[in-house]
Chains A and B, each alone.
Chain A
Amino acid sequence: MTTEKEVVVSTSANSKTYSLAWPAMALIALAFILPVGIIIARSFTDPQLGVQNFEWMMTNETAQGVIVRTVYTALLATLITAVLAYPYAYLMATTTPLVRGILMVVVLLPFWTSMMVRAFAWIIILQRNGLLNSALDAVGLPAVSILGTNTAVLIGMCQVLMPFMVLPMVSVMLGIDMKLPLAAQIMGAPKWRAFLSVYFPLSLPGVFAGSLIVFILSLGFYITPALLGSPREQLVPNALFTQVIELLAWGRGGALAVALLLLVGAVFLLLFLIARVFGVRIGKVGGMGL
């Protein structure tokens, strides 16, 4: 029966129903692919035809600094998120359904909270006379100046990125047979080694999937660096904004966009290959207006 049902799918009537997807496809093609295509095209045509914008990007020190900083920040954000998310995900995977439900809600709440509101909240906390310094002052520690640094950007980014790391980790961890580390213990491995040699390797596909998603998303952050970071330490999205809106350098902005797209595309390819190899379900990945 199953075989009969599987082949039933592509009849002419079903193809007619497929046309219901056309409005959405047309919208994405005209209002998404077209504008993105225009900005890519302008990197080769603005101000005149040629690769001068890419030459600028490859030789200008500021542009180089922006790209290197963006990749570096994304790597750091990925590492921090992975380290913090792992114990959280592990607890989620190994606890009772009730606690798991609560931890899930806590992880999902940021999904629903506006980027703007969260960036604003970090300003209140991290500014010179903010919550953090009031607290430090209360216990007699000297004030710190975090707002306007890359540290503040990382703190804000990682909060946003955490769910994207936790969810793939949990989905892989829930699939790990908890009898396996027990079996390792029966065979004589101490608890920590049973964990490191059995559980951890099995959970790695989730770590990889989460890391790649988080890395991709961190490349595209605009609001958080604009509000929490320093204009002197720009990331690619902010530099892109500056080039196009403030300097009207569409071509240079386009070149930065191409660089960003290539980075994202390369990581996606990696993600796709890993998903193929490990059969990991990556689940929902969202841009969320980062």
Chain B
Amino acid sequence: MSTAERWSSLWKKEDWWAVWLGFGILAFAVAAAALGYSIKAPEIERWADNPLDAFFSDVTVRVSDWPSALASELPPETADRFKYTRKVGYQQGRRTLSETIGWKSRYQMDDADREALLALVTEPAHREAITSLYEQSQSPRANFVALAILLVALGAAFAVAVYMIGENVKQFTAGFVVVSLLAILAYVVSTQAAVSAYGLPYAMWALLLGLLISNTTGTPSWLLAGSKTELYIKTGLVLLGAEILFGKIVVLGARGLMVAWLVTPTVLIFMYFFGTRTLKISSKALVVVVAAATSVCGVSAAIATAAASRAKKEELTLAVGMTLIFTVLMMVAMPPLIKAVGMNELVGGAWMGGTIDATGAVVAAGALLGDNAEVVAAVVKMIQNILIGVVAFFVAIAWVTKIERDPNAPRPSAMEIWYRFPKFIVGFVVASLVFSFILIPAFGGGQEGLNAVESDVVGAVTKTCRGWLFCLAFVAIGLESNFRQLAAQLAGGKPIMLYIVGQSFNLILTLILAYIAFGGWLFNPVILE
């Protein structure tokens, strides 16, 4: 490769464009937050009966909107619970006032608290404040325009990349419009109240919609032109880097670290060798993607390692399909099992946090066991989430230096490794490091800086954009796959065997570590307030 070609790859290669587009979105979000603009990327809202509700931002009164001064007029004990409920009520989702007052069982708001709160909010002075909040709640804002702006902006940015790469912009644009509409449909389905309770995410619906088209009428070429799977995934992964904040580790605690960081690499390595040597699965990329999905955190880890190991789309589809099915099964089965055997709530929480693949399912399963189990499960899973960056980085290094290397060829030079190294991983790592070690201090440092970055940059803009990019990618993967190719990947059930054996090993190892860390075997038992 000549020097000119090496330089031109900066604007001609999809890999680099993913970095530039990801950095562009991150820079926009940071600038908006730093300048004090309150920008919120449009999300598809939860709905129950009418799908159109998904396009109206939920501005119903949140518990956190209650004037905190109300607490000063309550008896001290009730005031404490009021403050706690106000905070948790926000965290658990946007609830109306009446829902929250009626919602007492889960957060120990007893009848006395409930009566006190009801009396408080029905006082005329308070009623005025509450009424104004209610009035606000009666005028939900439509998200149509914001959503259109977001998708048009993303489409325009990708069109520039497509043009620079040298592909047909007109065909891409037509295809992108349809892929976007399918992504919106997938998101809308996944946010239906009951569907979200079952833990069936947008990724699954996006894949199904794409597969439905590709396996019936076939995907027309203009639609394939809009299915830039790699570009969407890699750009989304650069944004995901900004969500991996190392400051988070400091506040998560050593016990969670012990469970997550000892088990995760052990299971990953075990599954890799079991898959490649015992089961003799020919595609090492498929093995590592299934292993990462099982040991780290399901779909997001599968996406990151698939991109790092240049796995085929069908391999990613298979890994994602298995992880989605087993996530729901484990979310349903583990809490009753833990209750039935009388396992300590904290041990049970750590066990589920370390083994159930998807974060949302971990929180849901933990919630059934109790508040403490929910906290421990979520913390262990968050630590695993943070490991995505490390795993993707080392998988990319291993693939460039060992797996893809011709064993008869001379050892590649550092420059050769750099040219072959997937550049989006660089963007992913740089985003994580910049957000963790430059932006958090710039936003006030410590917990304050961490909260500001998480809420004003990540929560407000980048995680929503990343979600849309992953959704577009899954639609595109579905559009590019067919059932015969998927069936070929099953290779006599070996990937399923790999998942089951790996997950069983994960369950045993995590249980032992959970007992050591949280069961009082090695450390003093944990007491959560």
Are A and B a genuine interacting pair, yes or no? no
Please report A residues at the B interface, Cβ cutoff 8 Å.
Answer: none
Please report B residues at the A interface, Cβ cutoff 8 Å.
Answer: none
